[in-house]
Amino acid sequence: MGKIWCIYFSPSGTTKVVMERIAAKMDGEKHTWDLLREPDVTPKTLQPEDVLLVGVPVFSGRIPTPCIPMLQSLKGAQTPAIAVAVYGNRDYDDALLELKNMLEEQAFLVIGAAAVVAQHSIFTKVAAGRPDAEDLEKLDLFSAECIERLQSGRMNWKELQVKGNKPYREISNVPMKPSADTTCTSCGLCARLCPVHAIDPANPRKTDQTRCISCTACIAACPQGARHFPKLMFVPASVAFEKKCAIRREPEWFL
């Protein structure tokens, strides 16, 4: 192996946990790129001996739109890649297929793909605490199988088939948008992190609802715990969603 590139978009922190767990099992010089904290569309070319690990959360069954131009800045040279979609126990729909196809269009060879369950970023009682110990054990098994594939040589790599449909599912925007309460100190951290610039640094208590994608990065990052979804919408929606998604789903992978 050459360099191991571990790339993720992780507004609530769970995708980061998943990707770092997978990368930890691989030997080699590691390069980490956090797409949320280091947004950059400068073209980057990976070498054939490198390994690319890419993880994204699932938003409305798709790749989050802010990720797309950054992921498209990556170019491979028949470089092996591992694609991971992290979702909140509802469904990953077309996100994993979309990610696989995008990487292949940029001259990567996707040799492994996984859909992993994590605590839902909005309705946090759904899949609460996941990935848990059982999930992490399965991630270690997935990592081991990916390493085995990498070591088996290119002649043994076949085109991967993953779940999903094309045309991809139409993206629907979450109607609830977070805003800050009176405990907000206007530190501006949420505005600096917002991937779609929906928060004005001069007035961070408000959110531009036409831009916000409800990614929850601002909620997760707020040191005061001041940012929330509106209770009048959130409470009934959470009850319905928790009931719908109560049955535990397990990680799936494709090799």
Which CA distances in Å does 94 have to 32, 133, 139, 158, 169? Answer: 25, 27, 21, 21, 6
Tracing tokens 């090799």 back to the chain, one arrives at 255
Relative to beta strand 51-57, strand 179-180 is: unpaired
pTM for the full predicted model = 0.96
Contact 199, 166 (CB under 8 A): no
User: How far is residue 52's CA from residue 59's CA, in Å, rounded to a whole number?
Assistant: 22
What was the pLDDT predicted at 94? 98
What was the pLDDT predicted at 159? 87
Contacts of 38 (CB under 8 A, 6+ apart): none
* Per-residue burial over 210-224, b = 16 or more CB atoms within 10 Å of its CB, e = otherwise: eebbbbbbbbbbbee
What was the pLDDT predicted at 157? 85
User: How far is residue 165's CA from residue 233's CA, in Å, rounded to a whole number?
Assistant: 31
User: How far is residue 92's CA from residue 60's CA, in Å, rounded to a whole number?
Assistant: 8
- For each of the chain's 255 residues, which pLDDT tens digit applies? 799 999 999 999 999 999 999 999 999 999 999 999 999 999 999 999 999 999 999 999 999 999 999 999 999 999 999 999 999 999 999 999 999 999 999 999 999 999 999 999 999 999 999 999 999 999 999 999 999 999 998 878 888 999 999 999 999 989 999 999 999 999 999 999 999 999 999 999 989 999 999 999 999 999 999 999 999 999 999 999 999 999 999 999 999
Burial environment of residue 61 by CB neighbours within 10 A (0 to 12, 13 to 18, 19 or more): buried
The backbone region for 78, taken as left when phi is positive above 0, alpha when psi lies in -120 to 50, beta otherwise, is left
What was the pLDDT predicted at 194? 98
Domains and CATH numbers, the chain: 4-167+250-254 (3.40.50.360), 179-228 (3.30.70.20)
Rounded CA Rg of the chain? 18
Alpha helices, DSSP H only, in 87-216? 95-105, 133-152, 189-193
Contact 236, 230 (CB under 8 A): no
